[in-house]
Chains A and B, each alone.
Chain A
Amino acid sequence: MKIVLKNLSKIFPAMGKKNKDVVVAVDNLDIEIPDGKLVGLLGPSGCGKSTTLYMISGLQKPTMGQVFFGDDDVTMLEPEHRGVGLVFQNYALYPHLTVKQNIMFPLQNLKGAEKLSKEEMLRRAQEAADLVQIGDLMERKPNALSGGQQQRVAIARALAKAPRVLLLDEPLSNLDARLRLQTREEIKRIQRETGVTTVFVTHDQEEAMSISDVIVVMKKGVMQQVGEPQKVYDDPGNLFVAQFLGTPPINVFNGKISGGDLYIGDEKIMEVHAEEADRPVTVGIRPEGFIPSEDGVLSGKLRTVEVMGRDCSVVFTNESSQKPSVRAIVDSDIGARFDSTGLVRFNLKRNKVFLFEAETGERIRF
């Protein structure tokens, strides 16, 4: 089921005397979510990604705009008629019901022609439970389950009624680091096996990049960029997207274009188009874009080297950096050479260097 959001906006009215301004949670969103894909809505907290999810589910009604499932306009449809499965951030498993009863709960709501026999309900509940590998926990109550198991039950409950669209609200935020890795692969597997169009919300870019077919980056209710994770990472549309994706984050410098060349501080970094006007720009360099070299174009004062086995982080300072320190990730056998404090020099990989307008943060392509 393809999902199309057309000019979707959600504006919350001003609350109370202190907050006199209306809150624009989602601003004119236009997204097409392709059928059968796993889509990550990504952004910092308060960027409207959960609101968008709730508008897809129908729990919140948009102020303006439309939501389409396939060719059906579902904007005014109540959530129960949309055929969506929603997994809440804290799972919202009914604490007084067993796993089996929880999974069967949505099935028992079906009425009329859709009404299922008891055996059919049990069969479908078991099927959903087996899919998420909790088939042997059916008689337990939610409080006797671990976080990861609860998460699976919530997914099974959402899947049991064979939804057209599966929605996950911050599915991994309540899990510990190890479980998070495991569960995100699990979500990917379940999505592949069922083929159901899935939208999930997260503020964790690593999580979104690792499992999504498509990511949607949002900021303050405005969509910033849509695309395959790697493409968005390699080709960010603006400074915000470049900064939001990637760990460790991109290093940002104040630079300038002068005579068709890019300068950071007084150092000439590389040539850009000769016709680019002279002006200050913001330069983003991915941590993996640094190549240690004695005659490198960018210099800095070495602060420390953090060895992490496979590779190591070279932390140095540069006066033009917007942050106190700059982090470069290099192979550990190269990095090991930085032993005494002093100057370090780097050459830069051209495709890891991005230029942005200093004022607007828009990408300058060169």
Chain B
Amino acid sequence: MEDNKDIIQNNDVPERQPLDRKTVIKLNRDIGSKNQLKGWLYLAPALLLLIIFSFYPLINTFRMAFLNGYNGLAIVGGESFNLGVENFKTVIGYVDFKQCLKNTILLCVVTVPISTILALLIAVALNSIKPLQKVFQTVFFLPYVTNSIAIGMVFNAMFTRVGLGDLIQTQGIINNILGLFGIGPFNFVNVGSSWGANMFVVCTYIVWNAIPFKILVLLGGLQNVNKQYYEAAKIDGTSKVRTFFRITIPLVSPMLAYVIITSFIGGFKEYSSIVGIFGEGMGPGGNGQMNTIVGYVYNMLPKSNLGNASAASLILFAIILVVTAINGYVSKKKVHY
């Protein structure tokens, strides 16, 4: 042992140079360079598809949105020199667009909390029953596998009322039921119906349509919660309400966060359900009072107003980005583990 020590102290071995960060990166790169080509080769198929179907459209959307007066057929004033925010100004200036924005935001704010709370309650209830659990699960899941346009038309039929005054010729089941209690009839969806009534129908529909998926996710989360937490809570005499708020909700909070984020995104992109109820006119009699941002974008397309459509898309994108960021920030604080 003594000898060994001497040899090391004699400095026969040159002292190793301390490596700085740049050198390390360079060394690693040199070693990796052989494999880099291979790596790109393996990536190529996926990358190619991404470039064609994701990156190009994305970049092109920005291009169209920021080129003043872009209309898809001819570029007024020359493409490269006319960058600007004209399209955004136009879009924001439209009365139509403001209506769309108002509708979209209201839809989200109303339907997301309602559907999430309902879904959570139903999921907890489903999780606590044993007999018929599968049956109820299937029943609650049915709306998810049906076509939203078709169901929208059914909702329209349910809420409809055709005719004037006493000369009512036909009305849907909702007005019939309300009639049994001596209420109504109301004009929910037909020509001349109010914006509020339309909104009520659309929100009902969206909540009904959004619940199944949330139940599925939350039920999955609930079933993953270790039963022993509940047993421990029971031993300690925890009340049902306290167990729900202090144990169940924190333990499914990751699922809740996921559900809330995705349903906000879905809510801002709401379109097809409203088409189902009101048709492409997106309002009773095609008056457009229930139009949404995505609906507005689609409306711009046949008019070859690609610039405005792109600008509207980007505004929607920005809104979703901000809301999702807020969601993410809140969940970081509130979601446990």
Contact = CB atoms under 8 A, between A and B. Distances in A.
Interface of A: 57-59, 79-81, 84-86, 88, 90, 92, 94-96, 105-106, 109-110, 141, 143, 161
Nearest to A60: B231
Contacts of B336: 95-96
B236 interface: yes
A110 B242 CA distance: 12
Interface string B126-140: 000000000000000
A79 B234 CA distance: 7
Interface string B221-245: 0000010110111111111001000
A113 to B, nearest CB: 14
B250 interface: yes
Given A86-B235, A88-B232, A90-B228, 20 more contacts: A59-B234, A79-B234, A80-B238, A81-B237, A84-B235, A86-B231, A86-B232, A90-B226, A92-B226, A92-B229, A92-B232, A94-B232, A94-B247, A95-B336, A96-B250, A96-B336, A105-B238, A106-B238, A109-B239, A141-B337
Contacts of B239: 109
Nearest to A102: B232
Nearest to B253: A96
Contacts of B247: 94
B312 interface: no
Given A95-B251, A95-B337, A96-B336, A109 B236 contact: yes
20 contacts: A58-B235, A59-B231, A79-B234, A85-B235, A88-B232, A94-B229, A94-B232, A94-B246, A94-B247, A95-B336, A95-B337, A96-B253, A96-B336, A105-B236, A105-B238, A106-B238, A110-B237, A141-B337, A143-B337, A161-B236
B226 A80 contact: no
Contacts of A85: 235
Interface SS, B side: helix
A106 B233 CA distance: 8
A88 B236 CA distance: 13
A58 B235 CA distance: 8
Given A94-B247, A95-B337, A109-B242, A80 B229 contact: no
Interface in B191-247: 226, 228-229, 231-239, 242, 246-247
B235 A59 contact: yes
A96 B337 CA distance: 7
Contacts of A92: 226, 228-229, 231-232
A79 B232 CA distance: 10
Contacts of B337: 95-96, 141, 143
Contacts of B251: 95-96
A92 B233 CA distance: 10
A76 to B, nearest CB: 15
A320 B247 CA distance: 59
Nearest to B335: A96
Contacts of B238: 80, 105-106, 109
Contacts of A143: 337
A106 B236 contact: yes
A141 B336 CA distance: 10
A82 to B, nearest CB: 8
A59 B253 CA distance: 27
Contacts of A88: 228, 231-232
Contacts of A161: 236
- Most chain B beta-carbon contacts within 10 A, residue among A57, A59, A85: A59
Contacts of B229: 92, 94
